[in-house]
């Protein structure tokens, strides 16, 4: 009986929320951080929210275990969240994200979302999570923050963020058919002051990009996944000005590229 009582007590402890915990609303996302007003009107953010549990209904409960500024991000305003997920009916939390090639399971939160056509929707009433293994997080960390303006030109970076998604996934035709492989290194750069070419890399010009995909392609990133000939066949009647040696950075710029990349290919 004593053992049974212990089991019942243990079950009760698991079933109840922690003593003194509050359920509050008013959550919002500013940049890559949650902001939450407390009962006294103070704004909680960053480390204030460590340990907070976000109840997202049928998805489950997400617990924030750690929040830290991303020291590797292009701009000093990206925060990385260590998250745990507990699904409905379970009492066990586990990593929200699958690890990237370096074992990193942190995530970035950002306002808005991508629609089915992979267009970024800056909806302040909604937010999304992207694990660091994901292109949405990568592009934010590279500096293509859609709510920011470009250092050199002052133009919005929103189209650059959409373009970065196409580029990072090697979605040449912008038809949501990525051809890259997890863990593949590329060199991303632009002409608006966010990313520059990285010297000393054994890479060559791959493609120029805009929000619709590649404006021209010198070579495909992972030929085992997609060859230039297969891309040519896939393109059908759609316009894609240059494939192969006719595509270079100068041509891509003339064709309206926002971003450029190099790869080993």
Partner 1 sequence: MKTLALTTLLLAAAVIAPATMAADGGPVFNGARLNGWELNSKNFNGISLQGPVLQGLTLNGPVLQGLTLNGPVLQGLTLNGPGVVFQGLTLNGPGLVLQGKFLQGVHVNGVARSHSPLSGIALSSVRVQLRK
Give the rounded distance of the alpha carbon of 163 from its chain centre. 13
CA distance linking residue 181 with residue 222, whole number of Å? 7
Residue of the chain from 31, 60, 143, 213 that contacts partner 1 (CB under 8 A): 60
Tokens of 52: 């907070």
Single out the segment in contact with partner 1 by CB under 8 A; choices: 16-24, 142-150, 199-207, 229-237: 16-24
Closest among 56, 58, 48, 61 to 14, alpha carbons compared: 61
Which of these ranges, 89-97, 150-158, 209-217, 234-242, lies near partner 1 under the rule CB under 8 A? 89-97
**Four-point Cα dihedral 160, 165, 167, 170, nearest 10:** -160
Q: How far is the CB of 213 from partner 1 (least distance, A)?
A: 14
Is 203 among the residues that bind partner 1 (CB under 8 A)? no
Q: Which residues pair with 149 in a beta bridge?
A: 156
Q: What are phi and psi of 190, to 5 degrees?
A: -150, -175
The length of the chain is 265
Are 205 and 218 in contact by the 8 Å Cβ rule? The answer is yes
Does 56 engage in binding with partner 1 (CB under 8 A)?
Answer: yes
One residue of 75, 129, 161, 205 binding partner 1 per CB under 8 A: 129
Of the two residues 169 and 262, which places its CB atom closer to partner 1 in the complex? 169
235 interacts with partner 1 by CB under 8 A:
no
With 0-12 / 13-18 / 19 or more C-beta atoms within 10 angstroms meaning exposed / middle / buried, residue 251 is middle
Site membership for partner 1, residue 72 (CB under 8 A): no
The helix (H) or strand (E) run that includes residue 9 is helix 2-15
Tokens of 252: 């891509």
Nearer to partner 1, 110 or 260 (CB): 110
Question: What is the Cα–Cα distance from 186 to 142, expressed in whole angstroms?
Answer: 12
Q: Which is nearer to partner 1, 13 or 239 (CB)?
A: 13
Tell me how far, at minimum, the Cβ of 94 lies from partner 1, in Å.
Answer: 5
Report if residue 123 touches partner 1, rule: CB under 8 A: yes
Cβ 46 to partner 1 shortest distance, Å: 14
**In the complex with partner 1, which residue's Cβ is closer, 1 or 23?**
23
Chain residues that interact with partner 1, rule: CB under 8 A: 17-18, 20-25, 27-29, 36, 38, 44, 49-60, 62, 85, 87, 89-90, 92, 94-98, 112-114, 121, 123, 125-131, 133-137, 169, 176-178, 180, 182
């Amino acid at each position: 009986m004593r053992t049974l009582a212990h089991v019942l007590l243990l079950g009760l402890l698991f079933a109840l929320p922690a003593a003194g915990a509050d359920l509050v609303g008013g959550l919002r996302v500013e940049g890559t951080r949650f902001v939450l007003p407390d009962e006294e009107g103070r704004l909680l953010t960053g480390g204030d929210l460590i340990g907070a549990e976000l109840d997202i209904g049928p998805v489950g409960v997400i617990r924030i275990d750690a929040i830290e500024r991303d020291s590797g991000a292009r701009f000093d305003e990206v925060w990385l969240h260590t998250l745990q997920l507990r699904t409905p009916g379970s009492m066990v939390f586990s990593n929200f994200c699958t690890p990237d090639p370096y074992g990193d399971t942190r995530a970035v939160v950002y306002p808005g979302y991508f629609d089915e056509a992979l267009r970024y929707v800056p909806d302040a009433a909604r937010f999304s999570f992207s694990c660091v293994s994901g292109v949405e997080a990568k592009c934010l960390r590279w500096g293509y923050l859609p709510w920011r303006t470009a250092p050199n030109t002052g133009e919005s970076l929103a189209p650059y963020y959409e373009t970065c998604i196409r580029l990072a996934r090697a979605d040449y035709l912008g038809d949501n058919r990525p051809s890259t492989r997890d863990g593949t290194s590329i060199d991303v750069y632009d002409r608006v002051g966010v990313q520059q070419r990285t010297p000393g890399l054994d890479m060559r010009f791959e493609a120029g990009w805009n929000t619709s995909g590649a404006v021209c392609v010198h070579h495909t990133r992972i030929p085992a996944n997609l060859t230039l000939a297969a891309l040519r066949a896939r393109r059908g009647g759609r316009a894609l000005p240059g494939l192969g040696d006719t595509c270079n950075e100068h041509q891509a710029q003339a064709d309206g590229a926002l971003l450029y990349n190099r790869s080993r290919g």
